[in-house]
Chains A and B, each alone.
Chain A
Amino acid sequence: MQNMLTIISNALCRITGRNVLLIDLSEYVSLTSPAAPVLAQTERQPPKPPPVSTRAPAAELVSSQTDQLDRPGSRVVVSRSFADFTPQATFDIKKCDVHRLEEGPPVKATLTRDQGLQYYRIMQTVRRMELKADQLYKQKIIRGFCHLYDGQEACAAGIEAAINPSDHLITAYRAHGYTYTRGVAIKEILAELTGRKGGVAKGKGGSMHMYAPHFYGGNGIVGAQVPLGAGIALACQYQGNNQVCVTLYGDGAANQGQLFEAFNMAALWKLPCIFICENNKYGMGTSVERASASTDYYKRGDFIPGLRVDGMDVLCVREATQFAADHCRSGKGPIVMELQTYRYHGHSMSDPGVSYRTREEIQEVRSKSDPISLLKDRMLSNNMAAVEEFKEIDIAIRKEVEEAAQYATSDPEPPLEELCNHIFKNDPPLEVRGTHPWATLKSVS
């Protein structure tokens, strides 16, 4: 590597006749041996190109002398072509347990470099966003309920990777991750948590009530979202649009009667509904063993086929969701998926999360099964990306989340004049009674 750099730099010097030393170049890249640093070029978010020195041609920027490379403070940027990285690799993934199915999803998954970086970016964004929410909550800038998703990122990222934006998704209250994957900007999510007018629901909804096109929240009542999801699937079938509805619920909700009512009708009418149980082992403080007579959540659909999936592996989730979506779109009716996953935080911000489980257990999952690390390690060991690229992405995400938090803490609260708005749609303004008879407030649609 050093030799190659030397050769290139010498060649450039001869070509340009100038010392193309570049100092103070970039805060992005530092030279580490053995690999030279690289510009991260991903499709999802092209990074800022490094500033171009007037003394050098734009494309190839190298240090002129090898000894310069050792000088502290000198940075070098080398443009690498994609040929240096493995563009695509196939990985073995855990086989899914199946229920009432002849075969399950494939046991191999192909990942391109771009996809990998994209999934990494999504998961890391959700992770950092949730940790920022934790911070803001402890500073009392976020109040009320706040149920964090860190640890479960592979579920949201994997599902979104396998469905189309025109498909539908509904979940319960641990919803920030899905709000993001379904297209809401981080700053609108954080500003909703802080109750500001720039929040996605203008501060009217809060953590559990965020919505977007084809994303139906964010639902506070345990289990209620499941019949809703079946209804959305009914609408898809009715409209003949070949779309599916992903309907999520937790291991705690899995025992709700209304789920079984929804399963029955979905199966009867062959609704294109993917019922997904995010089994994170605990319904609030109650472990699955203490709550369910049967913890085989993928079988609880009884007459509905089911899959049990490793929810910490984004590729596993993606392949399973793809399989499930194909099943639904082919008119076979609903399917149940159980994603085995884990949450690092307690049930909500008021739960330290260690009275009903051990710190050792949490630590073990973090060190052995973290979804973000799993993906990163896979990509690194297959030379699909460089460590520096991930670092760059991390830095960029931190910055983005920080800016979003800035926005969320500085945006004004919703104006009082809008207190009563949005009671009815498409209605003339109406009078709303305030706290006493002399307070007549106005509501507009």
Chain B
Amino acid sequence: GFRDALNQAMDEELERDERVFLLGEEVAQYDGAYKVSRGLWKKYGDKRIIDTPITEMGFTGIAVGAAMAGLRPICEFMTFNFSMQAIDQVINSAAKTYYMSAGLQSVPIVFRGPNGASAGVAAQHSQCFAAWYGHCPGLKVVSPWNAEDAKGLLKSAIRDDNPVVFLENELMYGVPFEMSEESQSKDFTIPIGKAKVERQGTHVTMVTHSRYVSHCLDAAAVLAKEGIECEVINLRTIRPLDVDCIETSVMKTNHLVTVEGGWPQFGVGAEICARVMEGPAFNYLDAPATRVTGVDIPMPYAKILEDNSLPQIKDIIFSVKKTLNV
């Protein structure tokens, strides 16, 4: 599954390069708050798998400093909500440094952890940070959907000489996925910055990332019964955005629907729409692009409220039909 893929990726990279190490809350003796780092401490010990106190700003700064001095840290946030405490270190100390130093000082670090909504964890623990981190030059921002994405992209992130924000999703951790033959290799990597067309289609382009790829594929299956063939693009990377992939698709289907869990204002979908407007694909649109997003409110707790705060498959189907005017 997704969780095992992440575990495998980290294990392989820890073995491959002794400069790689993992730090964060509960990553060692607890086997990871979400068990993503299970078994790693037993295998690699205290030096490479480090439990930190609950001090995000401090340990994130320490991780960034270690990266500046030649190591290759993986800094885990128990959830990305807690990264807000440390966001200055991510942006000002990590992301901007290569530029400010004109290439003298690089920061090869991965910040990873679950992002976005979970189940019943309420407002302070449910925010999606794709748009916030995606806004900043100097960062790469990655958002895997399935197990293969998880493994290949995490390995690429760890091998990348730049700061990478790696947005996982807690609800995906336990989901089983088939892994291809190719992905079993210890050198299997997926390039950062390239989207993947998960489903070919002709009538509408759906652009999405992370958990909502599943939603879009499910919606596409339902729509196919009505003769609407959806092309589903799994972004895989939020920054840099694979605009070429999106444009090629839109120029084929003439319709665009973006789907994300985050809030609508200044979000990932907003950026995609703006980019499509500014490029050649605009002239191929037969209708304005549509964004399907989380509801513009802090996340409520009660199940019925929470379910209706996030895009459901019916919302995606509805939006596609409206966009196609059917």
Interface string of B39-73 (1 = CB under 8 A from A): 00000000100101101011111111111111100
Decide: A205 and B58 in contact? CB cutoff 8 A: no
Decide: A228 and B47 in contact? CB cutoff 8 A: no
Judge whether B297 is part of the interface by a CB distance below 8 angstroms: no
Judge whether B265 is part of the interface by a CB distance below 8 angstroms: no
When the two chains form the complex, which single residue of B61, B140, B278 contacts A262, counting CB atoms closer than 8 Å? Answer: B61
Shortest CB-to-CB span from A183 to chain B, Å, is 12
Listed stretches B93-101, B122-130, B205-213; interface member: B93-101
Judge whether B264 is part of the interface by a CB distance below 8 angstroms: no
Decide: A261 and B55 in contact? CB cutoff 8 A: yes
Size of the chain B interface, CB-CB below 8 angstroms: 43
Decide: A227 and B104 in contact? CB cutoff 8 A: no
- Assembled-state Cα–Cα distance A233/B65 (Å): 8
Decide: A265 and B64 in contact? CB cutoff 8 A: no
Decide: A216 and B65 in contact? CB cutoff 8 A: yes
Judge whether B300 is part of the interface by a CB distance below 8 angstroms: no
User: How many A-B residue pairs lie within 8 Å, measured between CB atoms?
Assistant: 146
Shortest CB-to-CB span from B47 to chain A, Å, is 7
Interface string of A149-174 (1 = CB under 8 A from B): 00000000000000000001010000
Decide: B100 and A227 in contact? CB cutoff 8 A: no
Decide: A221 and B71 in contact? CB cutoff 8 A: no
Listed stretches A7-15, A278-286, A361-369, A425-433; interface member: A425-433
Decide: B102 and A224 in contact? CB cutoff 8 A: no
* Given the contacts A258-B57, A265-B52, A231 and B62 also touching, CB distance less than 8 Å: yes
- Assembled-state Cα–Cα distance A219/B161 (Å): 21
Judge whether A82 is part of the interface by a CB distance below 8 angstroms: no
Decide: B55 and A265 in contact? CB cutoff 8 A: yes
- Assembled-state Cα–Cα distance A423/B103 (Å): 8
Decide: A227 and B60 in contact? CB cutoff 8 A: yes
Interface string of A213-245 (1 = CB under 8 A from B): 000110111001011111111111011000001
Decide: B58 and A224 in contact? CB cutoff 8 A: no
- Chain B residues with Cβ under 8 A from A269's Cβ? 50
Q: Interface residues, chain B, CB within 8 Å of chain A?
A: 21, 47, 50, 52-53, 55, 57-71, 88-89, 92-93, 98-106, 108, 137-138, 140, 161-162, 240, 278-279
19 A-B pairs besides A235-B69, A235-B70, A245-B69 with CB distance below 8 A are: A205-B102, A211-B105, A221-B88, A227-B61, A228-B89, A231-B62, A231-B69, A232-B68, A232-B69, A234-B71, A239-B70, A258-B58, A260-B58, A264-B55, A264-B58, A265-B55, A423-B137, A424-B138, A445-B103
Query: Can you list 12 A-B pairs with a CB-CB distance of less than 8 A?
Result: A209-B101, A227-B58, A230-B62, A231-B65, A231-B69, A239-B70, A258-B58, A261-B53, A423-B98, A423-B137, A424-B161, A425-B98
Q: What 3 A-B pairs have minimum CB-CB distances, sorted nearest first? A: A231-B65, A227-B61, A261-B58
